[in-house]
Structure 1
Amino acid sequence: MKRNIVIATLTAAALAGGTVVAFAANDDGTAARPGTGTTVRVVTDRDDDADDRSDAAEDRTGVRVGGVSAAEAVAVALRHTPGTAVSAELEDDGADAGAWSVDVVRGDGTEYGVDVSGAGKVLGAHRDDEGDDDNDSEDRAESAALKGARFDAHEAALVAATKGTVTEVDADDDSGAVAWNVETVKAGTTSEWRVALDTGKITRVQSDED
């Protein structure tokens, strides 16, 4: 990649006598205009590289434009309501669009829903009494697996963020072994992934492109 870009500029003199005035960009992205003592900003390939790096960083973190990521939302919810996060879902329409709903199970087994705004602020928390009716042996086994997991909801969201913007994280035991089911969106394509509780290994379940 060339660090200096030479830009030929036609001046009024060029129109009259065909003279072409050229100036070269300095390393700081500016260029001196001959005979004026002033500098102008020159757009270089390095500026494009910076934009590409910024986009790549956004993909790695999973941060939505103007909002917090799934991992950040889980962390905020757990600071407010300590326990085990079992799911996090991004609201994508209506007045709550951009906010997160995070489900947390406390040490005594009670479940709370914690709402986190797109700015990372807790909007409120409420006890999920309906969850008490479903507290059977399967749910207890799932909760126990999540409590001892090396990769919790926060870590699973970070792992899946390498695949796109995370929009949902949920515990799943459909395959007979509890794992995290994570939904991501990238370039308009929605994909589902499984993240192992013990190793963090991520495998794709399905995609819109399938």
Structure 2
Amino acid sequence: MKRNIVVAAVTAAALIGGGTATALAVTGDDDRDEPRIAAADATASDALAAALRHTPGTAVSAGLEDADDEGGKAAWEVDVLAGDGTWHSVRVDPATGEVLGSRTDTEDDDTAEVRAALKGTSVTAAEAARAASAKGTVTSVDLDDDGRSATWEAETRSGGGAERDWTVDPDTGKVTADRADDDSDDDSDDD
């Protein structure tokens, strides 16, 4: 069975302006259908860097997970493939960028496929997140290795709350609209 690397769509932000990066974190609100957004400081790129400092390897995805029902708080979940083929899930605090903990994932059926997909690419997950931040608030980034060639997929949220999926070229970092996401896409945003 192939490991599904796609991280659930989540909300976080990377608003870059004047050299300052700001992020948003999602917190659950039991009284509302939509998640509530609260200010935070750690962007997707920050979370990826913190996870890799904690657990060396190759970051394959990052997404901000809502607070769980057992009292846990929202956290960036970063999947890291270590050099020995071990998968790690590293939790990073969206407010501080500090690592909250990590766990080893024993499911490694697709390790060879992921390594093959990453071979020869020059854009990392953090670079893909930074590139996609030009299109809106980054909510997740992950490696899509299901097609003929691997790509980075990023999800953004606009100031109005509309979500949009993007493809980031793993060699050039060019961001284009994901044609598979036709829910509310409008071709005028393509670059």
Using the size of structure 2 for normalisation, the TM-score is: 0.71
Q: Secondary structure at the match of 2:115?
A: helix
Q: Is the 8 A contact 2:117 2:145 kept in 1?
A: no
What pairs with 1:1-210 in structure 2 (closer than 5 Å)? 57=17, 61=21, 63-64=23-24, 65-94=39-68, 95-96=71-72, 98-118=74-94, 119-129=96-106, 131-132=107-108, 134-135=109-110, 139-187=111-159, 188-205=161-178, 206=181, 208-210=183-185
Superposed displacement of residue 96, structure 1: 4.7
Q: Which has the higher mean CA deviation after the structures are superposed, 194-203 or 166-175?
A: 166-175
SS in 1 for 2:48: helix
Which segments of 5 or more consecutive residues in structure 2 lack a partner in the other structure? 1-14, 25-38, 186-191
Aligned 8 A contact 1:184 1:190 in 2: yes
How many residues of Structure 1 are paired with residues of Structure 2 in the alignment? 150
Contact 2:22 2:40 in 1 (8 A): no
Q: Which has the higher helix share?
A: 1
Q: Is the 8 A contact 2:91 2:101 kept in 1?
A: yes
SS for the counterpart of 1:63 is strand
- Residues 76 and 207 of structure 1, relative CA distance in 2, 3 Å threshold: farther
TM-score of the two chains, using structure 1 as the length reference: 0.65
CA contact (8 A) 1:196 1:202 kept: yes
Mean CA deviation greater in 112-121 or 145-154: 145-154
- Three-state SS of the structure 2 residue aligned to 1:76 is helix
* Distance in 2 of aligned mates of 1:195 and 1:164: 14
Instruction: Please identify runs of 4+ aligned residues in structure 1 that moved more than 6 A.
Output: none
**Structure number with larger C-alpha Rg:** 1
Q: Which has the higher contact order (CA 8 A, sep 6+)?
A: 2
